[in-house]
Amino acid sequence: MLVPLAIDAKQDAWISILLATIGGVFIFLIYHRLYLYYPNILPTTYVQKIIGTFFGRIVAFIYIIFFLYLASRVLRDFGEMLAVVGYRETPLSVNNLLLILVVAYSLRKGIEVLARSGEIFSVLIYFLAISGFILVMSSNLIELDKLRPFLEYGFFPILKVSFTQVIFFPFGEIFAFSMVLPYLNNSKKARITGILALGLAGINLAIVMAVNITVLGVDGVSRSLFPLLSTIQTINLGFLERLDIFFMLALVILGFFKISIYVYAALIGTADLFKIEKPSQLAFPFGFVVWFFSIAIASKVTEHMEEGLDIVPLYLQLPFQVIFPLFILMIAFFKNKNAK
């Protein structure tokens, strides 16, 4: 929700998001099928069984680095957002450090604590989201004409944006949960839970982008680094001021969970690969690595955003999230077929 998602599709960005949601479901089903083949072990282990120990360990290590890299990108996103909203005089490194310390502390407590915290905070997030939508409606800011004309440039640009950008960011990022699936108490619910989660996420993001466009227009969303923030700042009901603070609160909570899942995936993957008995001991060292990467990853916010929206999806997320998992799924299929 932080960035101008799918805005290359202009006023049809919300359609592009919904189409990418369907693609995200297919990506999730790749990981779910691998999970069904190897339900009790982590991907860092079953990749060694599929392609061999030597190459499997190399691939597993690369994925651990990839998890840490994506965590650092998300941390940088939210550090920049904090600098824009309310901490203009605070160095980016301090914003990032405070957030990653909370992440590392929570991961010391384990995945159960993180999951139960998510259950609690999801109620708060939806309360803030619904309240924000009501306030935008009450301010008479929405102009539905800004969503017209539908399909002005045809269907191809929408498909292009869906399947070259949005399907990888954010929906392809569901691949991080492949590191969590072996820990589920009720493995039978994994498939339906993942599909429903992706569907709900897609609907939420489509609504957010549609609201941003109806308030700011396509040009306004394109120019804004954080269009949802700009939308919230336009609310004017006289007695309500500084509502962007609530926006910041909601986004920091969501950013905390996203960073935590990535760091947790890297943490347990490392513990599994190198046979470390207490993965929680790695929480703060990994947190420091993510913090350092988040500062060094780009010299300025525009460079960071361009890299994240134009380069990372095609050259990193496509091969790591789709092509290689599909390749090892094909090998796993034939191996299991021959075994039967």
Mean pLDDT in residue range 281-286: 93
> In angstroms, rounded to a whole number, what is the distance separating the alpha carbons of residues 34 and 182?
11
What 8-state DSSP symbol labels residue 193?
H
Sequence-ordered alpha helix ranges (H) in the chain: 13-37, 43-51, 53-85, 92-109, 111-138, 156-161, 190-223, 227-233, 244-273, 283-296, 301-306, 312, 318, 324-339
Mean pLDDT in residue range 168-192: 91
Instruction: Write out pLDDT tens, residues 229-268.
Output: 888 888 877 766 677 788 888 889 999 999 999 999 999 9
Instruction: Write out pLDDT tens, residues 305-333.
Output: 888 878 888 889 999 999 999 999 999 99
Instruction: Write out pLDDT tens, residues 153-165.
Output: 888 989 999 998 8
Residues 6+ apart with CB under 8 A from 116: none
> In angstroms, rounded to a whole number, what is the distance separating the alpha carbons of residues 103 and 110?
11
